[in-house]
Amino acid sequence: MKMASIVLATSVTVLGAGLVTSSAQAKDPALEKLAADWTAAFAKGDARALAGFYTEDAVRVTQEGGVVLGRAAIEKEFAANIAGPWKGAKIAIKIGSTQAMSADIAVNEGTWEVSGTGPDGKPMTLNGNYVNTLVKKAGAWVIASNAAVPVAPSPTK
């Protein structure tokens, strides 16, 4: 199972449940909805719904350093991953902070953990950090860019 690619979606996945404007945190229902809806679409394996949470010209940087440009390409990648390495995978997101850049732009970070079955048929878990740039369109947050960074494996001795 090419779990590394899963990580990428994960980063996307979770946008923020809170909006941080300084040291105080205020909840933003639109961000909470985006996070919940993205996670639900991942659980259902719905590539079209997942891609719908991105802007038409979104940029996604994978943990392998690949770049996916545009909603159509993101949907195609999600569909291939859901049919292959992500099949049956589960995702858990821990939302970090969200920094408002303006009324319609925010940057969100957090952590992710994806679990599933590896290519050898054994259970495996991957985790890391994500960062998303969000824009508000028609009152709803959508993902303009995201990047996922897996936790580096410990060096062998």
Give 51's contacts (C-beta < 8 A, 6+ positions apart). 71, 72, 74, 75, 78
How far, CA to CA in Å, does 16 sit from each of 35, 56, 64, 70, 110?
A: 6, 20, 24, 21, 8
Query: Is the pLDDT score of 10 beyond 70?
Result: no
> To the nearest whole number, what is the mean pLDDT of the chain?
80
Cα 86 to Cα 42: distance, rounded to the nearest angstrom: 9
Give the pLDDT band of residue 30 (cuts 50, 70, 90).
confident
- Supply the pTM of this predicted model: 0.79
Residue 99 — φ and ψ, nearest 5°? Answer: -105, 120
Residue range 79-133, pLDDT digits in tens: 988 888 788 888 888 878 899 999 999 999 988 888 888 777 888 888 999 999 9
User: What pLDDT was estimated at residue 62?
Assistant: 77
The 8 Å CB, 24+ separation contacts for 153-156 are none
Print burial letters for 44-75: b (CB count within 10 Å at least 16), e (below 16). Answer: ebebebbbebbbeebbbbbbeeeebebbeebb
Q: Is residue 7 scored above 60 in pLDDT?
A: no
**Residue with tokens 């940087």, as numbered in its chain:** 61
Q: With 60 as the cut, is the pLDDT of residue 18 above it?
A: no
Q: Residue 8 pLDDT > 60, yes or no?
A: no
